A and B are shown apart, each in its own frame.
Chain A
């Protein structure tokens, strides 16, 4: 082993991640070209990378955990709202405060209003469907990038998911020349089996369509944005825009790393290519 091999090997991690500046990268590559030992070290590290990346695919949150976390969110939201009333009630109980204010009637009105508002406030029905659409997008992109897919296989899986899980994949938009369907994955969302269809845009972006037959989930049309004759919910979450809508008994979430104008354009294409599920 050459004298500077130990230092080079520490830098191989940075080289593999593309984090060395050009000068350092040139120096490391020059060393690799002349060293009898370090190229094998780089190969071994790359093999380890490959095995680590394969290990990542094994686990996604099980459906029962998803349900449990949804329940936690609803329960904690409810506790939080109740907790907000305590300081106000404590304040009202202090005689000095009550006397100083001398306007108990006003406070009562305020307190009553706050209680009414608190009691009538329900969890936003869009929270969980939008989160599921984003999670589905992340999963679809990850699996497509790591696994890839063959077109013939995609068509078979689309049909199989419809047949075996009852998810309306065959009535959904199946891609066109500008937005070909490149992968499909079964999933579990909103407490039901579902599917993630993955399309590739001409710019190379992956666009995902989450489909779940969820009759009990309501997507309030009045909160939507007019896009052509339709009113989907359009929402930006992190770097991803989502169009959410319901057709028949199924919920659809179209997501892509684009702005809201572009997701509206993609939505119109996908919505017009999706017939109502039977």
Chain B
């Protein structure tokens, strides 16, 4: 891929990359930093990108991996426990994500707001829903970014959506 084609196509993805970063970080400032980091990393490792393959999936994978690296680094620096425990694949209800007592607290924070409800989900579930249901990606593309089988993506979307509905259910639709 020629230099300008690569840069043009990457720049054309700035809005979806920023939205994705906002969903991941929950913060405008962190999202901006994350997208800039993504462009730096992508431009420095552009030789690893195979022309003709999916640039969008490649950039989103860089964004997510960078986010997970930074989060891991922050956890180590804090020397405290994990901020949100990642649920096992058996979890299938919001209570399983948060625990029965925690669920009530999270629900009161969410108060029917879809953005806050999504932000409250564990990252792997939030990412699967954002990519598959908000951004409208194919299962194959989401699976490529998360580096998991398609069935796992579908399962995360299914379970994540049930948790979302539980979080929102005591409030009016909008």
Contacts and interface: CB of A to CB of B under 8 A. Distances in A.
Interface of A: 9-10, 13, 44-45, 47-49, 51-56, 58-62, 64-66, 68-70, 72-73, 76-77, 80, 124, 126-128, 130-132, 134-135, 138-139, 237-238
Given A10-B158, A59-B19, A76-B44, A69 B35 contact: yes
B114 A51 contact: yes
Interface bin, chain B: 35 or more
Contacts of A134: 8, 11-12
A44 B154 CA distance: 18
A238 B40 contact: no
Interface stretch (B79-87, B96-104, B128-136): B128-136
Contacts of A135: 11-12, 14-15
Contacts of A70: 11
B3 interface: yes
Nearest to B13: A135
Interface in B134-155: 134-135, 154
B22 interface: yes
Interface string B29-47: 0001001100110011000
Contacts of B9: 131, 237-238
Contacts of A69: 11, 14, 35-36, 39
Contacts of A130: 8
Contacts, number: 111
11 contacts: A47-B173, A60-B18, A61-B35, A65-B14, A65-B18, A65-B32, A65-B35, A66-B14, A68-B32, A69-B11, A238-B9
B11 A131 contact: yes
Contacts of B14: 61, 65-66, 69, 135
B54 to A, nearest CB: 11
B174 to A, nearest CB: 7
Contacts of B17: 61
A139 B15 contact: yes
A30 to B, nearest CB: 21
Secondary structure class of chain B's binding surface, majority of residues: helix
A131 B7 contact: yes
B12 A72 contact: no
A52 B43 contact: no
Nearest to B161: A48
Contacts of B11: 69-70, 73, 127-128, 131-132, 134-135
Contacts of A44: 165
A53 B132 CA distance: 11
B53 interface: no
B55 to A, nearest CB: 9
A127 B14 CA distance: 14
A238 B4 CA distance: 13
